[in-house]
Chain A
Amino acid sequence: MIGVWIAVGVAGLLVVLLIATYNRLVALRNRVDNSWSQIDVQLRRRYDLIPNLVETVKGYAAHERQTFENVTRARQEGISATTVGEQAQAENHITQALRQLLAVVENYPDLKANENFRELQEELTATEGRIAFARQFYNDQVLTYNNSVQQFPSNVVAGMFNFSTREYFEIEEAATGPVNVQF
């Protein structure tokens, strides 16, 4: 008689554990999704900054047309990108074009001293930092989630409900290569 009660108790405990594990997996997966879209938020901030930056630089270095066009074109690419692949590529182009622009600025001491430009540069540095942190946070969430999906015993529940591992965000080779500066 007592055996039945023990069995019921154990079964109840298992059900509770199952529910708790499932909920945790859901929460972790949602965090991954949320942190992915937060990266987008920071990328949009950069798009908003660029026109202002270009205008300020133009005021001092009007004939550096190629550089301006590169930056503006890359920004347009980013805004109109539809797939993740297109976006990643556009982001790399923007990073390169911005580096070029800032390298060009080195030749114009008046521009460098300009208060407005310095503020914009600070904002740009900060935005680049935010993008990097957003990506880092995304990767951290993916790590925690993947651990839960793969480790025992939560992997049992993960298998039952089709939770699959997520991919890390990795910088492509192009973005880390040297920048060509044309004058």
Chain B
Amino acid sequence: MYEELARNKRRSALLIAGAIGFALGIGYLFGVLLGGQGNATVFGLGGLGIAGVIAIIMSMISYFSGDKIVLKLSHARAVTHEQEPRLHNLVEGLVIAAGIPKPKVYVVEDTAPNAFATGRDPEHASMAVTRGLLDKMNRVELEGVIAHELAHIKNRDTLVMVIVATLVGVAVLLADWSLRALFWGAGGGRRGSREGGAGVFFVIFGVIALILTPILAQIIKFSVSRRREFFADVTGVQMTRYPPGLISALQKLKEDQTSVRYATHATSHMWIEEPLEQEHGKAAVRLNRLFSTHPPLDERIRVLREL
């Protein structure tokens, strides 16, 4: 279990480093394409700075108010200890094992079994489960799912996703500006002169990279999301010390194909399992995996079994 935890932390760090590198790389491209070799650094840093500020401002809204928005969008209802004693008891026990404050508890009246957790840090967190989850899962399965959600809170996954979104947002902004600038004729100026053949290839490569940037950005974001899901699975097991609970819950989730009524693409990453309709055609599957927020249930179960 400890090896698995360390492994997840390493891979998360690598992916985030990758996102930083991605942003810097696009910044460099921006600098060179618009400022020419000579002014690359100035243009690059300037571009990164401005794009950075814009991206951060946009992210702040998501970071600070995201939880309220998401709870409203999902029609989550706050529940007291008296209303849902079993749920509250499970949460209270697990937060002791996790060493985090108890989050606010919500219920979503939906028959699809699912759960999510949100909040900018453990002191300001919320957790919601659907009625379907409460009805269809037994005690140890419920405990496994709640532990997974609390793990998201403990690992500050909302913060991580906001950081990654900001980083790739910077890259996307800069790529957009670069393409517009090149299209409208601005930029390094000396096309075809002293730069020579190498310069043209660089420009072509640069343009392709810029066009692909939004897609690469999404891929990075989704990779991080999937890695954090694995991390939450293992951290949750660290709390319960009982992998079969979560394994059993994931298996039940696999069999249950219903989707959550109020989930949207914007919120789908937070649920414990993909809440929307899944396409099951063969050709679609491989590509879908790159762009899905959650790893396949089979793989998650396999990892848990090997703990």
Contacts and interface: CB of A to CB of B under 8 A. Distances in A.
Interface in B67-109: 85-86, 89-90, 92-94, 96-99
A129 B89 contact: yes
B92 A137 contact: no
B97 to A, nearest CB: 4
Contacts of A86: none
B97 A136 contact: yes
A10 interface: no
Interface string B237-280: 00101000000000000000000000000000000000000000
A125 B93 CA distance: 10
Range of interface residues on chain B?
A: 10 to 19
Contacts of B93: 126, 129-130, 133
A38 interface: yes
B86 A137 contact: no
A90 B160 CA distance: 46
B85 A133 contact: no
B146 to A, nearest CB: 12
Interface string A113-140: 0000001001101100110011011001
A123 B96 CA distance: 16
A153 to B, nearest CB: 19
A112 B148 CA distance: 33
B241 A136 contact: yes
A30 to B, nearest CB: 13
A133 B94 contact: yes
Contacts of A21: none
B96 A126 contact: no
Contacts of B94: 133
B86 A130 contact: no
Contacts of A134: 96
Nearest to B241: A136
Interface residues of A, number: 15
A133 B86 contact: no
A130 B99 contact: no
Given A133-B94, A136-B241, A126 B99 contact: no
A49 B202 CA distance: 74
Interface string A29-61: 000000100100010000000000000000000
Interface string A149-179: 0000000000000000000000000000000
A122 B85 contact: yes
Interface in B89-148: 89-90, 92-94, 96-99
A126 B97 contact: no
Contacts of A140: 99
A140 B85 CA distance: 27
Contact of B96 (A119, A122, A125, A130): A130
A130 B85 contact: no
A130 B241 CA distance: 14
A140 B99 CA distance: 10
A76 B239 CA distance: 32
A16 B89 CA distance: 44
Interface string A5-41: 0000000000000000000000000000001001000
Interface string B200-227: 0000000000000000000000000000
Contacts of A38: 96
A122 B97 contact: no
A42 B93 CA distance: 10
B92 A122 contact: no
B82 to A, nearest CB: 10
Interface string A91-102: 000000000000
Nearest to A41: B96
A29 B85 CA distance: 34
Contacts of B241: 136
Contact of B99 (A42, A123, A125, A137): A137
Contacts of A119: 85
A122 to B, nearest CB: 6
Contacts of B85: 119, 122-123
A130 B239 CA distance: 12
Given A122-B85, A123-B85, A130-B92, 17 more contacts: A35-B99, A38-B96, A42-B96, A119-B85, A122-B86, A126-B89, A126-B92, A126-B93, A129-B89, A129-B93, A133-B93, A133-B94, A133-B96, A133-B239, A136-B97, A137-B97, A137-B99
9 contacts: A122-B89, A126-B93, A129-B89, A130-B96, A133-B239, A136-B97, A137-B96, A137-B97, A137-B98
